[in-house]
Structure 1
């Protein structure tokens, strides 16, 4: 592979991953009705509004879901996969990219939750109870997933193991569902199931 292709791949992975992360976080923020006055929320809104506002005129929301954000993430994922295959020198038909993109977005969403859990667990050890806009936002995104697990857990005297249970569950889902699905859909090894992490 030429140095220009390597630089191109680096840029596609970095910029595509950042764009996908921003769009998926915007979707998740609206899904959990997070605090939109948080400075990070404001950044995500301002970064995505130029594309999402016109897109919402065409694609309305449904049942509290921001469908326009999902469609935008899907299109960006297809473009990223297309650029990766082009830079790698493979001529993969568009229909394969269209099929692989939802799996990539699913894995990205799982990684957001996994790394968010890890960040909150580490932050709870280092700086418990501290006010940080990023930590508050991560907790707002994670709470709907952690709350049901926390309710089922026995009382351990103030020790909350529910994030560990959720993290382990995410890893099991990746092993039991994502891996076999990637094999079934013939996703080649050079196509990352997630971009940016």
Structure 2
């Protein structure tokens, strides 16, 4: 059972970094630092969008419009942090 908990925590950690990478990529793309016409860059952007958008879309429906500032990644990171700590401090010790 401990292996399952560790695998779930690892998946949460990987998704955490994918959200951060997606936010950084969107900033670089918005400020024209990277070339969106490059096929490799477009592939990375498409991958990050497809991985993170299903989790960010429901949060965006409930957050207010802040004039171009998207706080949904921050909210999702807070949710993932809470979930990770809940599993690590509450569920994992109960199974040991």
Q: TM-score range by the shorter chain?
A: 0.7 to 0.9
1:162 alignment partner, one of 72, 76, 88? 72
Please name the residue that 1:6 is paired with: none
Alignment RMSD (CA, Å): 1.7
How many residues were matched structurally? 88
**Which ranges of structure 2 fall in alignment gaps of 5 or more residues?**
none
Please name the residue that 2:43 is paired with: 133
Please say which structure displays the higher CA radius of gyration.
1
Displacement of 1:108: 2.0
Inter-partner Cα distance in structure 2 for 1:183 and 1:122: 35
Give the number of the structure whose residues are more often helix, by fraction: 2
For the residue of structure 1 that corresponds to 2:4, the secondary structure is helix
For the residue of structure 2 that corresponds to 1:132, the secondary structure is helix
1:181 alignment partner, one of 69, 91, 94? 91
Structure scoring higher RCO (CA < 8 A, sep ≥ 6) equals 2
Inter-partner Cα distance in structure 2 for 1:137 and 1:124: 12
**Which ranges of structure 1 fall in alignment gaps of 5 or more residues?**
1-98, 187-197
Q: State the 4+ residue runs in structure 1 displaced beyond 4 angstroms.
A: none
Please name the residue that 2:18 is paired with: 116
Structure 2 counterparts to residues 1-197 of structure 1, below 5 A: 99-128=1-30, 130=36, 131-186=41-96
Displacement of 1:185: 2.4
* Contact 2:22-2:52 within 8 A present in 1 as well: no
* Contact 2:60-2:72 within 8 A present in 1 as well: yes
TM-score (norm 2): 0.78
* Contact 2:22-2:45 within 8 A present in 1 as well: yes
Displacement of 1:174: 1.2
